Structure 1
């Protein structure tokens, strides 16, 4: 995975960066250059694609196949404050241990 993070931690890091950047539209190349310097842009695009298919309220922009874009909103801030993807991953892990 990206830089020794779980997938959920990497997704939360993306959200934190977008929120820090005041909800502007962030391209995958910027995330790779600023947040995941030791990872490929393809790894970042893969995460953005997964985030866009999951059920959280993100503003998403996908302008072309070369670069993916993401933008957060107030619901994203709330989602992150409530534990974000890391909490969902943790809860999912607990549930699977009981099955």
Structure 2
């Protein structure tokens, strides 16, 4: 979390962007590759039904997208599809649509 905090709390825009890029390349992308491998061809992280794991992963991925880099998931087709599938679930969609966009 330290790189995320640094990228969030750094006041200088260029320094914050650099912190995010370092975190993205050194920590986030390796983690996302593991998530894609875990997801495989499944619809959800732990099989064919969603779980708390899916909620946590989607929340993290979409917050990173909102706060730091709206295009970082372009490198991860399965995770992008996973987020879209999860966010379109009928009982999840109202939460997603009503969620406040935020920049920390």
TM-score interval, normalised by the smaller of the two chains: 0.3 to 0.5
TM-score in terms of structure 2 length: 0.32
TM-score in terms of structure 1 length: 0.33
Larger strand percent: 1
Q: Which has the higher contact order (CA 8 A, sep 6+)?
A: 1
- Larger CA Rg, structure 1 vs 2: 2
